[in-house]
Structure 1
């Protein structure tokens, strides 16, 4: 049971791709309940401390159009400056652990800026009850971040260092904007391992190998003598997965050139 004085534990997953789905696969082994991002405040106030809660935040859940109107994915891709995020006000203050798996581009709104992280709502706790339970007083509800995306100064602006498998955690002090390998103090516990799949090398190899094997015979037929999409005997699954062909990025992955030029 989670200490009632700290309220229910809420895991917030960002993104809907393989990264987020994989993290949720581990989470689902716990006694859990999924809730809408709009219900987080109610969960904090009335939730059950005998289980953990999860919410999945997609772009439409936290991005809003500055000029009014509904979120439009196609417009956001072309004109991200027309949007801002409510993540810091409506989601982060009620999150216990943030599992970040979103792709972030430099011209898009952040989930949390440095300034926003320093003004997260404090946890209102009865310190006398905490002392009896052996629970330390905590500065904010957001206690930990697993930044699987590992974008330095990206969607989480304060994420300034990549951690390693040998030393997976650092502590971020929201008030001094500093990071320390001493994780005994107050702050946000950060994990940002950029080669996280290496934690499970056998499992990762088996999984990717089994998914790739059925397409090997098709891949061997790509000899470079024709344009990629001119091969009629190659499936769309293979064509869409090819990142570089004949020394150039394929059309679906041209955005990588734009990312490289911005950095």
Structure 2
């Protein structure tokens, strides 16, 4: 994790990813995932319409509404019921590893075969589900900070993330923003927060996208591309996310948190892909 963060150049990162991927198991490609794979490769993201049913979205949202959250930037404030009882100054309220993986449909969504096939094509190897998370983005009137500013993720030499909105998201409730094509552009690759002005200057304002949509909106994205979570202004946003990588991620659980199960919602659960969370 920490060694790869020091590799800044895009060609060097890709070469290292190829070397690592060559040593890992492969995942069979699915023809029905070809369009999703192509969009992920060309644009850096691909929408996933119909990934969840409205009922599944409702069950996931209601589940997280009953769980206690925490402020990862301020652990000293303890746990609280989000979003209504979030302490003042909290921008993001996260959930524990076990609570996330135990959420209704979480494992099935993360193991969706179309998603896995598209991700494997991007990674060049069978993916590892190295981090699953969910969080409330709390509406606030403060200045953007941390991941609310443009940046590149450096979670591995190569990785893809799945995003699922569990609440309706409009321009006032913190849409995810992504700069199309930047996963392949070797500019502004140093690890730091980026201003909107320099992003527009280097990559073009036309490529600065904002993803809004009803609860259930889902997409996969190469978040080495420049992106941010826009600070919500009028209402909170609940989001579920899965990180797929070549190697295990330092932010995931230190040991598996749930007993291995062979399937969920009728979908097979691959023990290699899920080894970080399931034992």
* Superposition TM-score tier, normalisation by shorter sequence: under 0.3
TM-score w.r.t. length of structure 2: 0.26
TM-score w.r.t. length of structure 1: 0.27
> Which structure has the highest helix share of the two?
1
Task: Give the number of the structure whose alpha-carbon radius of gyration is greater.
Answer: 1
Give the number of the structure with larger relative contact order, counting CA–CA contacts within 8 Å between residues 6 or more apart.
Answer: 2
